[in-house]
Amino acid sequence: MVPNISQTANDFAGVTDDVTTCACDAVRSSTARAIGVGVPGTGGAGKIPGVVGHIATAPTGGARPGAARQETIMFKDFIIAGVGGQGGLLATSVLARVFAKAGFDVKTSEVHGMAQRGGTVISYVRRGQKVYSPLVPSGEADVILGLEILEAYRQLPELKVGGLVLTSDERIKPVPVIMGQAQYPDIRPEWFLSRAGRVLVIPALNKAREAGNVRAANTVCLGALSRFLEIPADVWKETIAETVPPKAVDVNLKAFEIGRALAGTGS
């Protein structure tokens, strides 16, 4: 039932190159900004405007040749970070079900906070042959999936060095900022490179609008994430169709495709 992990790694290596290259294309067309390239030999990365996280200067872990590929197959612990009302829990559901369908053991954990909306919402998804704790150990997350960039950055200490950050560029002001008591930090993609090996910042909200509903921004992010995982797109689409409300299926499938295209070519 459980995929052979090392084999999957080899299958996935090519995809990694696609992701990197295509993310660079995306930068040129101003639809996405990708930096901190974790795959050696794509020298073009250094020429991309705004890219500071060249392979040579990235921190340990993702920096070593070969390490990136190894790390790719190690994507098993995910943190999904967002704000109440953004659909983080739905994204958690989809991701977990995708892994379950692919034959992995899966656990998720989330906290239903004090208020219906407006607070930070963090959830965890873990997969593997056998998963014990539903909590991702601190500083060992393989991936941060951000639905809001401040919340993604807030979780950065939870990422393992060399891990992947994929986040929407959406900025939602917390109340202290609205009240003028604090500044919303001008988070730049390269900030994530203090731990991340790879960073992808995508205009998920705008892309969701293109798909037909701003509320599908979470699915745009999942689409982008899907390019970094070895699981076939069909499994994702089937899962999305089963998980979102019936009348939202079409919009979400479109959002998924748009997100997937943002992070790479193909399918």
Contact residues for another protein, defined by CB under 8 A: 57, 59-60, 83-84, 96-97, 100, 105-120, 131-135, 137-140, 150-151, 153-158, 160-161, 173-185, 190-191, 193-195, 242-243, 245
Rounded Cα gap, residues 213 and 148, in angstroms: 17
In the complex, minimum distance from the CB of residue 70 to another protein, in angstroms, rounded to a whole number: 14
* Closest of 126, 208, 127, 223 to residue 166, by C-alpha: 223
* Closest of 147, 148, 180, 141 to residue 164, by C-alpha: 141
In the complex, minimum distance from the CB of residue 52 to another protein, in angstroms, rounded to a whole number: 8
Structural contact between residues 152 and 146, judged by C-beta atoms closer than 8 angstroms: yes
DSSP 190: G
Closest CB to another protein among 22 and 152? 152
In the complex, minimum distance from the CB of residue 233 to another protein, in angstroms, rounded to a whole number: 20
In the complex, minimum distance from the CB of residue 158 to another protein, in angstroms, rounded to a whole number: 7
Residue 54 tokens read as: 């060249």
Closest CB to another protein among 10 and 138? 138
CB half-sphere exposure, 248, CA atoms < 13 A: 18
Rounded Cα gap, residues 93 and 2, in angstroms: 20
DSSP 72: H
- Alpha carbon dihedral 158, 20, 51, 155, in 10-degree steps, equals -10
Closest CB to another protein among 22 and 143? 143
In the complex, minimum distance from the CB of residue 89 to another protein, in angstroms, rounded to a whole number: 9
Beta bridge partners of residue 125, listed in sequence order:
78, 108
Element (H, E) at 6: helix 5-28
Closest CB to another protein among 172 and 255? 172
Closest CB to another protein among 121 and 200? 121
Closest CB to another protein among 87 and 264? 87
